Structure formats: C-alpha cells, structure tokens
Amino acid sequence: MKISMLKIKNTLLFFFIALLVVSCGKVTGVKKLKIGHGLDQSHPVHQAMLYMAEKVDEKSGGKMQISVYPSQQLGTERECLELLQIGSLAMTKVSSSVLEGFVPDFKVFSLPYIFRDEQHKFNVFEGEVGRDLLLSPKECRLRGLCFYDAGSRSFYTKDKPVNSPADLTGLKIRTQESATSVKLVNSLGASATPISWGELYTALQQGVVDGAENNPPSFFTSRHYEVCKFYSLDEHTAVPDLLIISTIVWDELDEQQKQWLQEAAVESYEYQKKLWKESTAASLQAVKEAGVEVIYPDKGPFEEKVQPLLEEYKSEKAIYDLIQKIKNVK
C-alpha cells in the first residue's frame, strides 16, 4: 500500500513538473524584441514604432512582442547601432546620414534637392532603389525594415534670419555626423559642426553653435525653438530615417516571425506618412505661436550654390549612377 501511494505521489509530482515546464515554455516562447532610439515620445516616428508593436502583437496573437524605448534610454543613435551589430539590441531608428558611415550609398540622401517633389521621394522609398538600399547594410550586420519620412531639412538660427546663402556666412551650424551633410553646409558658406542630437539643445544655449538644420516636427519636439527664433524653409535635403534590425537578431527569427515583423514595419511606414504630414503642419503653427519667425526664402540661390557639390560626384561612379537611378524614378 505504501509503495502504491509513493507511486501515486511520484506520478502526480511528474505531471506537476511537466505542467510547469509547459507553462514556462509558453511564457518563454514569446519572442520579445526591443527598439531603442533618441527621439521624443511625441515624435511621429516614435508613434509609428508603437503602432508597429501593436500590429506585431495583433498578427502574432501575442507570440511576438516589441518594447520601444525612446529619448536615448538605451543609448545614443550611434551607440544603439553598435548594440545592433553585436546583437545586444534588436532594432533602432537611424538617419540615413549616419548610415553613410557604414554604407557609402546612403550619402545620396544627404545630397541637396535630390527629389523633384514629395511623391517622387515616396516612389523612391517604395520602389527598387529603396528596397536595394534597405538591404545594403547587411555586411555591417544591419538590415533595413522600412523607411520613415523625415520631411525636408531647413535652417534654424538664434540671432538672425537666413534669407539667402549669404546669410549663412560665418555661422556655426550643427550637422549630423555625416561627411556629406558637413560638405553641404560648408558649401553654402556656413561652418558645419557635427554634434549629437541629445547634446544640441545645450550647445545652442551656450553658443557652441549659432543654429542647426532639421525638419519642423524635430525642431518643435526638441524644443529648439525656445533658443532659435528664426526658421528658414529652404528645404535643402530630404533625409529619411530607417527602421533597422540587427541581422544577428533577424537570423534568429523563424519565417513566420520575419513575416509578422516585416508586414508590421511596412504598415507602420504608411501610418507614419500620415502622422508626419499632420505633425509638420501642427509643428509649424506651434513654433509660430511661440514667437519663431518662419521664413520662406527663394530656393533658387540655394540650389545654384550647391551645384558644384553635386558635380563632384561624377567622379564617384556608384553614387553618380545611383543619382541617375533616383532621377529616373517616375
């Protein structure tokens, strides 16, 4: 009788442990990914990432979950990139200007007036040129999932308005850590000063730089309008953001997980385009109400001034061919 009771206890214990293992398997079976980036929580790109996280959860029935960490909680843009390269972070948002340090072809987006209009820009992102560029950083253990619209970049300054390239002469203008962006700003007569995004507000306050250049939502959400009271919409470049994933993490996903993630990323891109348009209009209105003088200069002199910069790329066959491909996109 004692042996029989012992067998029953052992059997029950076995089933309890088995049940516990299965239960734990279900919990640990959820694929969890993290996104780190440097933008504010109110930024349209952050909102698009949250939307993507919702879509992934919905598509996977909760089997795949994404957590989004904004405002440099997990590091600066470059630090997040480095974490991706070693597989310690799954995804990040990065400007294509920063990616040119890894894949030279991305410098094409930092060239001035490369797109004819907004629709041309979207056709490039969504077509063959865009798809090829998204996959091009794979040698650096990075893979693009989608572009995010970042509008057009324009100059904002502390002490005087920029009505023409001549007004930039002698000004120290913050740029991204991009050799092409530096050359562009220098070609317009200013002194380009690369500074990380997180340090820019203080740099403006302390006079390290006299101004910067960025799109309206970033100008507003960063609160740089508190320091810079002139915003000149010359719209010299349209540099997109990219949502990228570590190839180390990507390769660990099964085909179904990859499909969920890729589909959600594309849907978040479409959602972000709408958000961006609304945010641009609202941001311009908000900075005007905060006392910023918004200027609409003649773009002709700016385009003329940067022509020598574009001519330089005739000697770089890969970039020049890419420029021609973009121009030929209908």
172-210 pLDDT per residue, tens: 999 988 888 999 999 999 999 999 888 999 999 999 999
pLDDT at 14: 35
Percent of the chain with pLDDT over 90: 80
| pTM > 0.75: yes or no | yes
Would you state the CATH architecture of domain 29-96+119-150+240-277?
3-Layer(aba) Sandwich (3.40)
d(CA 265, CA 147): 9
β-strands 230-237, 211-214 pairing: unpaired
d(CA 240, CA 148): 6
> What is the arithmetic mean of pLDDT over 291-308?
96
Integer-rounded Cα radius of gyration of the chain: 24
pLDDT at 21: 31
pLDDT at 227: 98
Going by pLDDT thresholds of 50, 70 and 90, the confidence category of residue 26 is: very low
Going by pLDDT thresholds of 50, 70 and 90, the confidence category of residue 64 is: very high
Percent of the chain with pLDDT over 70: 92
Which stretches of 20-97 are assigned E, i.e. beta strand?
Answer: 31-36, 64-69, 91-95
pLDDT at 320: 92
The mean pLDDT value of the chain amounts to 91
d(CA 102, CA 223): 30
Both structure tokens of 323: 């420029």
pLDDT at 28: 60
> What is the arithmetic mean of pLDDT over 301-322?
91
In three-state secondary structure terms, 145 is strand
Going by pLDDT thresholds of 50, 70 and 90, the confidence category of residue 311 is: confident
pLDDT at 46: 95
Residues 6+ apart with CB under 8 A from 323: 108, 111, 114, 310, 313
Each domain of the chain, given as residue ranges in start order, spans 29-96+119-150+240-277, 153-238+283-328
Burial class of 201 by CB neighbour count within 10 A (0 to 12, 13 to 18, 19+): middle
pLDDT surpasses 70 at 12: no
pLDDT in tens, 209-221: 999 999 999 999 8
- Residue 35: φ, ψ to 5°: -115, 130
Q: Which helix (H) or strand (E) holds 243?
A: strand 241-246
Question: Fold for domain 153-238+283-328?
Answer: D-Maltodextrin-Binding Protein; domain 2 (3.40.190)
Domains 29-96+119-150+240-277 and 153-238+283-328 share a fold: yes
Least confident of 4-18, 35-49, 260-274, 297-311: 4-18
Instruction: Find out whether 153 and 213 touch, Cβ atoms under 8 Å.
Output: yes
pLDDT in tens, 234-264: 999 999 999 999 999 999 999 999 999 999 9
pLDDT in tens, 123-164: 999 999 999 999 999 999 999 999 999 999 999 999 999 999
